[in-house]
Structure 1
Amino acid sequence: MLRAYRRFFVVAYQFLPLLLAYARDRKRFVLFGGGRQVAPETSRARAQSLLNSLLTLGPTFIKLGQLLSTRPDVLPPEYIEEFEQLQDDVPPAPWPDAKAVIESDIGPIEETFDEFDTDPISGASLGQVYIAEVDGERVAVKVRRPNIEPLVEADLRVVGWSLPILMRFVGQARSFSLETIADEFEKTIREEMDYGREREMLTEIGENFAENDRIRVPEARPALSSDRVLTMEYVEGTKISDVENLDELGLDRTDLAVTLQETYLQMIVQDGVFHADPHPGNLAVKDDGRLVFYDFGMSGRVDPFIQDKIIEFYMAVAAQDTDAILDALVEMGTLSPEADREVMSNVMELAIADARGEDIEQYRVQQIIQQVEDTIYEFPLRLPPNLALVLRVATVVEGVCVTLDPDFDFISVATGYLREQGFIEESARDFVAERAGEARDFGESLVRVPPKLESTLDDLDRGDVTLTVEFSREEETFERLAKRIALAALLTATLISSSVLYAFSTPLAAAVAVVVSVPLAISLWRSFRRSSGFRSQPQFTRQRLRQRDK
């Protein structure tokens, strides 16, 4: 608890200047005054400053930044882009401390391993990896960072204490997402520190691809593993982003990109369990062309309902069917049913048109998802945790595929895979059934519409038609009208009072009444100077989307 108190002041020192800046964005003088517009350059500078603070605060907050990089419903695009640069690469803990963890959990080093290289091959915020040998086979030994648990527990307490304070510096729309992400963060970081869970996910995904000769997933060694130590096969390979070495090996990079994309499609839409951290450091290629996956600490599951909706989303994007895209997003819980579908449809059309190349098969799903993420922040909406991971995986995988093949066609590969697995045929049957239903409805309308049209024209001729007017922001509009009426009534009362006082009392008393009427008059005048609730302005235009991309 004492450690948590100390950390709280350290965290407050790092974040307070930024929080004050955000507060001034809402109210120029913190407690009062109008809001102010923030330029993209300012947002970018703040994002970089916040990134540096997260790096300074250490492992827990690095993980928090990585999680926030998957949540476009919480942070604006500038912050997402900066946080995507967070590298989970920190100096390793001293060997004696790591050795104590290994020997405490699985036994003495000399008796358990034939050889053990005490220099780690990688160091991360929560753990580090060593190379060893057992029974003539090389293994990788992943060890949880010594004494990380007290630091994480203290930082989780700080996050919990800071949340109510943070709520005062953000709009109401962000509050709900922040509350949910705090719980999600605690769950995620505890899962990543649980190497027993990682071993289970590694084993399950490995079994799903056991018969696939294009994929290589290292096998775990349960007898040499615990909740703090994970021992697995050591599988060497060329880093997937090292295109020069891949070319020297004579490997087809387009084929590698297709394999990678199809592998993640299988994980997400078929198996329901997926490797959720596909950055190039966790992907390698063996000399024979097989893909190798490392580090299953960040992994997730997708329930069957979400799998179906992801398939529908992919197919709707391929068909440029904005209504179907919106339906899929609503059903997945990403888009509020109360959202303005016309506006959202326009956004989708602009996103697809902006991302499309010469024909439908050449646009990038990553660009479409990025536009959707930007829109999600501005509305704003909340992403379900696992779906946020899926979106993140989709964008990172597409980026790796484009690195391998600049002309990689995501939609063509996804469509081909879904057709091969039988998903498109099922969608085609649904399409035929829907069209048949529309034809039937059209036939019924031909019978129903003429009598209704004749009746409507008769009502119009008799003058029985009533026009109903609806306001887009009804509550706000009438609240403003009520305030104007109240101010006008008070102003009238003070002016009458000043006249009565001037006639029957002293000029000083009348002057006091006049002074009181001045702020009322100013407030009433300003209320008419503000933008009326009857006006509107497009929130999403092609120009704005293009400006955002620059």
Structure 2
Amino acid sequence: MDYSQLEPTYSSRYDAKAIGSQYRWRPLRVIWRAIAVIWLFGNFALHLLFDKWTNRVAVNRQKRAIELRRVLTKLGPTYIKVGQALSTRPDLIRKDFLDELIKLQDQLPAFDNRIAFKIIELELERSIEEAYREFSANPVAAASLGQVYKAVLHTGEDVAVKVQRPNLRPTLNLDLYLMRRIAVWVEPWLPLNLGHDLALIVDEFGMKLFEEIDYYHEARNAEQFALNFAGDPDVKVPVIYNQFSSEKVLTLEWIDGIKLTDLDKLAAAGLDADNLIKIGVTSGLRQLLEYGFFHADPHPGNLFATLDGRMAYIDFGMMDQLSESMKETIASAVVQLINRDYQSLARDFVSLGFLTPETDIQPIVPALEKVLGNAIGESVGDFNFKTITDEFSELMYEYPFRLPAKFALIIRSLITQEGLALSLNPDFRIVEVSYPYVSQRLLTGESPQLRRRLLDVLIQDGKFQWTRLENMIAIASADDNFDLLPTARLGLQYILSEEGQYLRQQLLIALTEGDRLHTDEVKRLWSLIQDDIKPQKILDLAFNTFRQISADSVAAIIPSATTSR
């Protein structure tokens, strides 16, 4: 078989204009694909309606679930990706449909082994026997964009070999072109800014999809991800074997693990589902708020629990990068939401691009308080992203909110992680893990940006917010891994530094406000930390901190203290 005939030459990068030019002169292909999509989904919808009219909904539930999976499979990789996203939402999809959609993660039809072997040999420019000592006769898994074989290198390492499906690019090009045309057509009919930048969101998805089918790019992503989590005892990242990889073939370390949705096997292996949830959510937050380099497709087919209790990531095709300012603003927005500071939250929405800079936020603040206040409920434990996204959609009908293209992937990642956690524990609330982490990040304040965000949280309308500091310390301390002493050292160093002059002034004002010493607040804080900080530790902390600060820095405290009186 001539491999050159497997796939025509197409650009390796997503280019909406080039794709538009390509299909503008091929209307028959576009029309035929549109008819195929409408026909398959239309038939499915008619079957659902017929079941309802004939009172056979319960009888045909399993039949319709299988039909939906087959429709998505038949339509190809773009629609399979949609099904994979839905398969992580047990709170949105009924169980019979969910059980079938889960099969889209790694139980798809494989393509011909002869084609796969030919791709491997031509991409690696050597025979399979030359590259691998052993190679499985059939794939061990088949996904939307490729299939996986188990092999052994001549040096003895067990590896997984991913081979890309042939003719992917023309299929993706046509589907993305149709989606973009529909987005442009629908936008003017949507209320206000609900349809703002829909085409840009399709373009963002297209760029990530094209990156996902470039295995060179995936290899670089995996290496960066491994570097970020180097030394983390809870996260496992497979080794990439670049000498046996190419644009369409990827060889990586074989991971023995258990799918996170297989509760029986997890229990049999003695693995704690709640601990796995915590690892998954915390590692996801670290990706977003610490490194800014995050996994945008964390469905159960890409995540496994290892037998020693770690979380293993095995697919790095769809990743994205956040700027430093965006990371810090997201952290700030989470805290403002939990603190119900909707004025500050509205300002964060402007910074993140959900509102334009010229937007008057004053009329929006009461609406945020009404809608998001209901979504949070009586306690932070009632919070979940599904509720927030559902409630927030109401605001987009009445106020000039828009969805920045970058956030389409972030929201997908967060909702997917939450859906996965819900499948492990239906009572899971993401805020119970995320807010302690965000509190710790702000309290440690290792960057100037984070320290400024902490000031925004602790000082409102020129007044120091004692209750917020107490809440943050209490919530952060609830995590056994949180060490208060290093955080206290960082805080003391900051207070004594030139950068901390404003905070020193505010603390002195807060302590002496109303012509009295506010000893009650100090006592409450002490009751929170006294078990973690012993007298000898305080002496050591003070001595080490002052030793690290120059005499000029300490002298700077005196003028600022005098000024604040």
Q: What TM-score range do you get, normalising by the shorter chain?
A: 0.5 to 0.7
Cα gap change, 1:436/1:203 in structure 2, threshold over 3 Å: closer, same or farther? same
Q: Distance in 2 between matches of 1:422 and 1:172?
A: 36
Cα gap change, 1:252/1:170 in structure 2, threshold over 3 Å: closer, same or farther? closer
Q: Is 2:369 the counterpart of 1:351?
A: no
For the residue of structure 1 that corresponds to 2:149, the secondary structure is strand
Q: Is 2:168 the counterpart of 1:148?
A: yes
Output aligned runs, 1:113-512, within 5 Å: 113-134=132-153, 135-158=155-178, 173=193, 176-336=196-356, 338=359, 341-343=362-364, 345-357=366-378, 359-376=379-396, 379=399, 381-423=401-443, 426=451, 427-436=453-462
Is the CA contact 1:14–1:53 (under 8 Å) kept in the aligned structure 2?
no
Is the CA contact 1:19–1:169 (under 8 Å) kept in the aligned structure 2?
no
Q: After superposition, what is the alpha-carbon deviation per residue over 1:393-426, rounded to whole angstroms, capped at 9, x for unaligned?
A: 2222223333434444433322322333344763
Q: Is 2:112 the counterpart of 1:94?
A: yes
User: Please, what is the CA RMSD of the aligned residues?
Assistant: 3.9
Q: Distance in 2 between matches of 1:163 and 1:368?
A: 24
For the residue of structure 1 that corresponds to 2:201, the secondary structure is helix
Q: Distance in 2 between matches of 1:280 and 1:19?
A: 26
Return the index of the structure with the highest Cα Rg: 1
Is the CA contact 1:352–1:368 (under 8 Å) kept in the aligned structure 2?
no
* 1:8 aligned partner: 30
Q: Distance in 2 between matches of 1:201 and 1:104?
A: 24
For the residue of structure 2 that corresponds to 1:419, the secondary structure is helix
Q: Distance in 2 between matches of 1:362 and 1:92?
A: 42
What is the aligned length? Answer: 404
Q: Could you tell me which runs of 5 or more consecutive residues in structure 2 were left unpaired when the two chains were aligned.
A: 1-21, 43-65, 446-450, 466-504, 506-565
Q: Distance in 2 between matches of 1:190 and 1:361?
A: 38
Q: Distance in 2 between matches of 1:165 and 1:406?
A: 39
Note the C-alpha offset of 1:290.
0.8
Aligned with residue 112 of structure 1, among 121, 125, 131: 131
Cα gap change, 1:365/1:211 in structure 2, threshold over 3 Å: closer, same or farther? same
Q: Distance in 1 between matches of 2:386 and 2:195?
A: 28
Note the C-alpha offset of 1:305.
1.3
% identical equivalent positions: 30
Q: Could you tell me which runs of 5 or more consecutive residues in structure 1 were left unpaired when the two chains were aligned.
A: 21-47, 71-76, 441-550
Q: After superposition, what is the alpha-carbon deviation per residue over 1:333-357, rounded to whole angstroms, capped at 9, x for unaligned?
A: 1234537653563344333334425
Cα gap change, 1:380/1:125 in structure 2, threshold over 3 Å: closer, same or farther? farther
Is the CA contact 1:326–1:345 (under 8 Å) kept in the aligned structure 2?
no
Cα gap change, 1:145/1:19 in structure 2, threshold over 3 Å: closer, same or farther? closer
The letter of the residue matching 1:147 is N
Note the C-alpha offset of 1:19.
13
Q: Distance in 2 between matches of 1:314 and 1:248?
A: 37
For the residue of structure 2 that corresponds to 1:421, the secondary structure is helix
Aligned with residue 57 of structure 1, among 75, 100, 113: 75
Q: Distance in 1 between matches of 2:341 and 2:70?
A: 42
* 2:530 aligned partner: none
Q: After superposition, what is the alpha-carbon deviation per residue over 1:451-489, rounded to whole angstroms, capped at 9, x for unaligned?
A: xxxxxxxxxxxxxxxxxxxxxxxxxxxxxxxxxxxxxxx
Is the CA contact 2:193–2:402 (under 8 Å) kept in the aligned structure 1?
no
For the residue of structure 2 that corresponds to 1:280, the secondary structure is coil
Is the CA contact 1:141–1:232 (under 8 Å) kept in the aligned structure 2?
yes
Q: Structure 2-normalised TM-score?
A: 0.62
Q: After superposition, what is the alpha-carbon deviation per residue over 1:214-250, rounded to whole angstroms, capped at 9, x for unaligned?
A: 1101111100101111110010111112223222222
Is the CA contact 1:11–1:57 (under 8 Å) kept in the aligned structure 2?
no
The letter of the residue matching 1:132 is A
The letter of the residue matching 1:102 is I
Is the CA contact 1:275–1:296 (under 8 Å) kept in the aligned structure 2?
yes
* 1:448 aligned partner: none
Q: Distance in 2 between matches of 1:435 and 1:164?
A: 44
Note the C-alpha offset of 1:118.
3.0
Is the CA contact 2:371–2:392 (under 8 Å) kept in the aligned structure 1?
no
The letter of the residue matching 1:273 is F
Q: Distance in 2 between matches of 1:310 and 1:49?
A: 40
Is the CA contact 2:346–2:364 (under 8 Å) kept in the aligned structure 1?
no
Cα gap change, 1:171/1:311 in structure 2, threshold over 3 Å: closer, same or farther? closer
Is the CA contact 1:54–1:62 (under 8 Å) kept in the aligned structure 2?
yes
Cα gap change, 1:273/1:332 in structure 2, threshold over 3 Å: closer, same or farther? same
For the residue of structure 1 that corresponds to 2:162, the secondary structure is strand
Q: After superposition, what is the alpha-carbon deviation per residue over 1:467-513, rounded to whole angstroms, capped at 9, x for unaligned?
A: xxxxxxxxxxxxxxxxxxxxxxxxxxxxxxxxxxxxxxxxxxxxxxx
User: 266-275 or 83-92, which moves further after superposition?
Assistant: 83-92
Q: Structure 1-normalised TM-score?
A: 0.64
Is the CA contact 1:122–1:128 (under 8 Å) kept in the aligned structure 2?
yes
For the residue of structure 1 that corresponds to 2:233, the secondary structure is coil
Cα gap change, 1:53/1:291 in structure 2, threshold over 3 Å: closer, same or farther? closer
The letter of the residue matching 2:129 is E
Q: Distance in 2 between matches of 1:344 and 1:51?
A: 43
Cα gap change, 1:232/1:249 in structure 2, threshold over 3 Å: closer, same or farther? same
Is the CA contact 1:274–1:300 (under 8 Å) kept in the aligned structure 2?
yes
The letter of the residue matching 1:353 is N
Cα gap change, 1:373/1:49 in structure 2, threshold over 3 Å: closer, same or farther? farther
